[in-house]
Amino acid sequence: AQKITQTQPGMFVQEKEAVTLDCTYDTSDPSYGLFWYKQPSSGEMIFLIYQGSYDQQNATEGRYSLNFQKARKSANLVISASQLGDSAMYFCAMREGPGRGSTLGRLYFGRGTQLTVWP
């Protein structure tokens, strides 16, 4: 089964508008972390935001916020006030909790959502 599902292959948003990129995850581990990365056309993966499974509040980093709904196993990325430079591929990823021996540290990635911001 897929550990991370991103159901939107592509999204379009007008500059200065907000946009939500969907991510659902699957794990039976009570301790996990959720990450969002941005990949511009240059290819480098840029870390944006992190949410821990025990965090009481939704994570925020500047214009990025994470809408974390634990019961629904969703961790949607919200970008407020979109800019042209936000056009990129966005990946959701999950790391399961500590104490997992040889799998410690590995991330599971979704297939990504291509965001296009238009003027």
Partner 1 sequence: DGGITQSPKYLFRKEGQNVTLSCEQNLNHDAMYWYRQDPGQGLRLIYYSQIVNDFQKGDIAEGYSVSREKKESFPLTVTSAQKNPTAFYLCASSKLIAASTDTQYFGPGTRLTVL
Residues that bind partner 1 (CB under 8 A): 4, 9, 31-33, 35, 37, 42-47, 50, 52-53, 91, 95-99, 102, 104-107, 109-112
From the CB of 6, what's the least distance to partner 1, in Å? 8
Q: Cα 78 to chain center, whole Å?
A: 9
Give 17 or 61: the residue with its C-beta nearer to partner 1: 61
By beta-carbon proximity to partner 1, the closer residue of 20 and 114 is: 114
Nearer to partner 1, 35 or 117 (CB): 35
Task: Give the C-alpha distances (Å, rounded to integers) separating 65 from 48, 49, 51, 78, 100.
Answer: 9, 8, 10, 5, 29
CA 80/CA 40 separation, integer angstroms? 18
- Partnered with residue 74 across adjacent β-strands are 24, 69
